[in-house]
Amino acid sequence: MGSPTHRVDHPYVSRRPDMAGGSPVVAGTKFPVRSLVQYVLKQGMSPEELVREFPQLSLPAVYDALSYYYDHQAELEAEMEDNTEARWREEM
């Protein structure tokens, strides 16, 4: 999957250097996009289940975060690889 040919706004995703190590989060929360991707795409939780489990999220935010992931897939996959438990243990 390539990069989008035009800039796509993701109003439900933000980045702040002082939050989640500068990783993208669901706007208005501290919930990292990488965690959302892990739950929905890697573990098979539905967006509706995720919203029930984490009420600070909304369905529009979840779907926008998933869209953000697909627009930045290589970057987020690398970030997820760097944030595995095995990687943390290697650094100790």
| pLDDT, position 83 | 75
The Cα 92–Cα 70 span in angstroms is 32
If pLDDT is split at 50, 70 and 90, which confidence band does 4 have? low
| More confident: 17 or 57 | 57
| Cβ(82)–Cβ(50) below 8 Å | no
pTM of the predicted protein model: 0.82
**Tell me: the pLDDT tens digits for 42-90?**
999 999 999 999 999 999 999 999 999 999 999 999 988 887 655 556 6
| pLDDT, position 26 | 97
Q: What CATH class does 13-83 carry?
A: mainly alpha
- Residue-range domain boundaries for the chain: 13-83
